[in-house]
């Protein structure tokens, strides 16, 4: 299965989505914002809330992750 970086600022949604992905057999690195997401190990798949409140939005985060990997 895949290694997934899950980024969601709503704690309830983060936990729910993490549980669903883990039950499907994926390894999940969960983050509640941009800084936490960038601190996680590289993952094969990123599931990102596009409206993360921070200096960078979800699309900006995806660009940063793409440059990092």
pLDDT digits (tens, 9 = 90+) for 15-28: 999 999 999 999 99
Residue 12 CB neighbours (<10 A): 8
pLDDT in tens, 28-65: 999 998 889 999 988 899 999 888 876 567 888 888 88
> What is the model's pLDDT at position 67?
86
CA distances from 10 to 2, 42, 67, 68, 69 (A): 23, 22, 26, 25, 26
> What is the model's pLDDT at position 56?
62
Give the length of the chain.
69
> What is the model's pLDDT at position 55?
55
Q: Which of 30, 4, 2 is nearest to 16 (CA)?
A: 30
């Amino acid at each position: 299965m895949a290694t997934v970086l899950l980024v969601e600022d709503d704690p309830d949604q983060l936990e729910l989505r993490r549980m669903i992905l883990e039950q499907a057999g994926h390894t999940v690195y969960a983050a509640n914002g941009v800084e936490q997401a960038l601190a996680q190990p590289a993952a094969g798949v990123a599931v990102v809330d596009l409206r993360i409140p921070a200096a960078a939005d979800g699309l900006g985060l995806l660009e940063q992750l793409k440059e990092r990997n």
